[in-house]
Amino acid sequence: MMKSQVALLYVLIIMSEGSAQSLKPRRSVSFSDVNLKLFKEPDFDGLSSMLVREDIGLLFIGARGKVITLSLDDITEKTSETEWMVSSGEKSECIVKGKSIEDCENYITTLHTLNDGRIFTCGTRAFKPLCTHLLFKGGNVTMETTTQDGRGRAPFNPHEEFATMMNENTLYSAVSVDFMGKRNIFLKTGRNYLSTEDKASWFNDPIMISINVAEIRKSSKNKDDDNLFVFFTETAVEERRSNLRLSRIARVCKSDLGGFTISEKKWTSFLKARLDCPFGDTGSLSLVQDVFLLKDKNNATESLFYATFASSPEPSSTCSQSAVCAYKVSDIQQVFRGNLLDEIIPGGWVKYMGKENFAYPRSCINDEMRANGVKTSFNIPENVLLFAKNHPLMEGAVTPITGRPLLVWSAAQFSRIVVDKVTSLDGQQHIIMLISNSK
């Protein structure tokens, strides 16, 4: 993660007609063909996080033991450097516990802007994650002296894949919360603390990818609650094959407050489904690498998730491929309104055939539920909460809008993706995908 070389592919796909023919790349440009400005500095390594602050014209970069800022007008220009190192004692203690000298540094992994302009900042801190705030005033960047425990807000291990999102000064994180990296949770911190249950049916050796929010309520006639989506891969609990990893999408309701007695301080609306992107050899599996939400300003349910995938071929296969698939929020919602799976024996999951057909949490709280006295998750009956706790897995899978990938590429592993919609001079709208492939 910290020393990888990155190449960029520039791919333009026309979506105006929505036909299969329109989904062919119009242009691809290699990183080496583009005249880009490059920031260089001796002894600069451990790049772990980045944050763009257009309001002050700066790019914040978290690295090993420091945060630097670059000018957005010219990223070759460093405007500040703020050190955040570990003490020799902290490093020694970390090494005694079996970690390497390099990993027992402080890697700045989390940077998020708060409503008051401060930057919430966390580092791995020699496997004892810690958080503080950066301040920007008078052209200078300084660090607050007060700190807070970073457990659940940043990873212990600088190599760990994790995800965080700041929304309305509330931090959402999908990260491990122990030294060994064995206990992974999806956590909400802020005014109301919530976490996932410690059950393999919720998370089973996951690799966290991305967290996004879909602001459903603004455009919903029934004032449905906003949705939070977590993308990850994990070892499947419902498959007979051992160690089979699948791509997943989980959904919780943003206004979830947990239960009053059952599921206290736990998500009551957690559901997950398989995320499919069919490509590659027969029998190969595609694992999600990164996700970007292209929002529809008029209707959140028309927003699209664009995700990169890498094939996980069978041992007999010699072909490695990557792909991009797109998913509409309304289609995802439909899957989460569907049938649930039931674990009838350990490891044996079948379609739930019972009589219970609770609206919640298949649907988040809306005006219809509010009219019946369900204002918050505290009003959900205990039997519904217990049922939801033991039935997090959907029967249906989330499939791409075209039924297949928008783009398939051989001999390259797609990693990050950013998507934008632009209007050309002839008035047509185009989707631009910026994709990186790590070597």
pLDDT, one tens digit per residue, over 192-224 is: 899 999 999 999 999 999 999 999 999 889 999
User: Does residue 3 surpass a pLDDT of 70?
Assistant: no
Confidence (pLDDT) at 299: 94
pLDDT category, 15, cuts 50, 70, 90?
Answer: very low
The enclosing domain of 343 has a CATH number of: 2.130.10.10
CB-CB contact of 429 with 421 (8 Å):
yes
Lowest mean pLDDT among 10-19, 40-49, 163-172: 10-19
User: Does residue 19 surpass a pLDDT of 70?
Assistant: no
Residue of 248, 268, 249 whose CA lies nearest to 258: 268
Q: Which domain holds residue 389?
A: 196-425+434-439
Q: Residue 151: phi, psi to the nearest 5?
A: -60, 125
Confidence (pLDDT) at 281: 66
Instruction: Taking residues 108-123, report their average pLDDT.
Output: 97
Instruction: Taking residues 329-333, report their average pLDDT.
Output: 97
Q: With respect to residue 154, please indicate whether it lies within any of the assigned structural domains.
A: no
Q: With respect to residue 209, please indicate whether it lies within any of the assigned structural domains.
A: yes
pLDDT category, 25, cuts 50, 70, 90?
Answer: low
User: Does residue 289 surpass a pLDDT of 80?
Assistant: yes
Q: With respect to residue 286, please indicate whether it lies within any of the assigned structural domains.
A: yes
pLDDT category, 320, cuts 50, 70, 90?
Answer: confident
User: Does residue 439 surpass a pLDDT of 80?
Assistant: no
Confidence (pLDDT) at 18: 41
Confidence (pLDDT) at 357: 74
Q: What is the mean pLDDT of the chain?
A: 89
For the chain, the domain total comes to 1
Cα–Cα dist 327/302, whole Å: 10
Q: With respect to residue 391, please indicate whether it lies within any of the assigned structural domains.
A: yes
CB-CB contact of 202 with 195 (8 Å):
no
Cα–Cα dist 246/241, whole Å: 11
Q: With respect to residue 305, please indicate whether it lies within any of the assigned structural domains.
A: yes
Q: With respect to residue 15, please indicate whether it lies within any of the assigned structural domains.
A: no
Instruction: Taking residues 59-63, report their average pLDDT.
Output: 96
Q: With respect to residue 396, please indicate whether it lies within any of the assigned structural domains.
A: yes
Confidence (pLDDT) at 317: 52
Cα–Cα dist 173/160, whole Å: 13
Residue 416, C-beta contacts closer than 8 angstroms, at least 6 positions apart: 289, 290, 308, 435, 436
pLDDT category, 14, cuts 50, 70, 90?
Answer: very low
